[in-house]
Amino acid sequence: MSAITRAEVAHLAHLARLDIPDAELDHYAEQLDVILGAVARVSEVVADDIPPTSHPVPLVNVLRPDVIAPCLSREEALAAASAVEDDRFSVPRILEEEA
């Protein structure tokens, strides 16, 4: 015997605003019964000693502190550039501008 009836499937379809033909109600009742059985099996698992969690492993902040460190001066950075214009790197145009 199915845990969910044909009438309950019709009621659920009505609530969800689904137009399910009468011929398919039994089919959906069987499928919903399988789903409810799977949920019932999961509920049977004894997990009283396992605390509820949102992640399977602890989350750790992987960001480093924001510390000011020495870096290249503008002249040192531009020294290795193949082309410089107005104290900036000059690169070839890759997109054509439309007029």
All structural domains of the chain with their residue ranges: 6-43
- Nearest CA to 3 among 23, 27, 28, 30? 30
Residue with tokens 């099996």: 41
pTM: 0.45
Tens digits of residue pLDDT in 74-93 = 899 999 899 999 989 999 88
HSE (side-chain half, CA atoms, 13 Å) at 72: 7
Rounded CA gap, 9 and 30, in Å? 10
Query: What is the number of other CB atoms lying within 10 angstroms of the CB of residue 29?
Result: 19
Query: What is the number of other CB atoms lying within 10 angstroms of the CB of residue 52?
Result: 5
Per-chain mean pLDDT for the chain: 87
